[in-house]
Amino acid sequence: MTEAATIKTSATSVSVAELVMLRKTIGKLNRRRGRRVSAPMAGSSSSAALGRGLDFSEVREYHGGDDVRLIDWKVTARTGKAHTKLFNEERERPFFVALDLRPSMYFGTRVAFKSVVAARLCAIVAWAAAARHDRVGGLVFDNNRITEIKPQAGSRGVTRLLHQIVKMHNSATPEAYSSEPLSDALTRLDRCAHTGSSICLVSDFTQFDSGPHTANLLQHNHTVAVRVYDPLEAELPPPAEYTITDGTSKGRLNSASARARQQYVDDFAFRTALLERVFSGAACRYINASVIDDPVELAAIVMSSLPGSA
């Protein structure tokens, strides 16, 4: 019996052993780049890496051709002349994997919960980033907690990230919250990601409200936003009456109305278009990822959209 055969997988939970084993899939990424998945995707591929490194060196007067995103506005205002920040080149690029584990992610009608599929995708992306010598860290958050994992080289950053994903995923509670967890997480990510970092953000983007934190994050980093969804969230099942449950109580879903079915599809398309507009730009990409899509193929798309360390 192979090692992989001894690791049990679940549709509702994840284990460290399973996420570590996914390291063996990264050899398939290059072969799968460019292959199509069932989910529609939008957004341009990311641009080349920002022209500066990430280790701050000094401030000098702005020269024609300098990156305007690196202008030091405080020094510029104080001196009356435009100044820009200079950075020393770093060998390893920070790579942040941000995973949303709010209650809405614990839903699924096929394959597994969105949260489980998202965790697997994050693991593959993290291993692939480490393999190309990026320093891997991340952010894992739910309604009540935001945990930051500082980027580290090699497998150390990846394993710390995976342990935190498993810990938070398998201890999730449906507690109410008084703040806006997704906005709070993006604000925290903007604060901890240095200019020029690569970011893979995986969420279902429920209750997403774009604000200054999002604009600033996208302006200064290379970002791929992966929206994980279940097919039932994109289209109602065939006309009939269904029993539905949240694990505690039961309800009935009637999908017979053609008008309601079309409105449901239109609402999903509207939300998709909104996210596409937000996560668009020279250094951004947006991906719709169904739980039925191959996570290895999705990871290949993510990695081909982000710059890597030399």
- Six-digit token string for 197: 């970092």
- pTM for this prediction: 0.80
Give the orientation angle of helix 212-220 with respect to helix 181-192, to 10 degrees.
30
Convert the pLDDT of each residue in 193-219 to its tens digit.
988 899 999 999 998 988 788 888 898
For residue 184, is pLDDT > 60? yes
**Predicted local confidence at residue 209, as pLDDT:** 83
For residue 191, is pLDDT > 50? yes
Task: Provide the Cα torsion 123, 128, 129, 135; round to 10°.
Answer: 70
Cβ-contact 221, 193 below 8 angstroms:
yes
**Predicted local confidence at residue 49, as pLDDT:** 39
For residue 4, is pLDDT > 70? no
**Predicted local confidence at residue 268, as pLDDT:** 97
Q: What order do you get walking across the sheet with 222-229 strand by strand? A: 41-42, 284-290, 222-229, 198-203, 94-100, 135-141, 146-152
Looking at per-residue pLDDT, the higher value among 294 and 307 belongs to 294
d(CA 104, CA 113): 10
d(CA 302, CA 279): 14
pLDDT confidence band for 87 (50 / 70 / 90): low
Delimit the CATH 3.40.50.410 region(s) of the chain.
3-49+93-230+272-304
Cβ-contact 297, 31 below 8 angstroms:
no
Convert the pLDDT of each residue in 29-47 to its tens digit.
865 554 444 444 444 333 3
Cβ-contact 195, 69 below 8 angstroms:
yes
pLDDT confidence band for 13 (50 / 70 / 90): very high
**Predicted local confidence at residue 281, as pLDDT:** 81
Q: Say yes or no: domain 3-49+93-230+272-304 is CATH 1.10.540.10.
A: no
Residues paired with 193 in a beta bridge: none
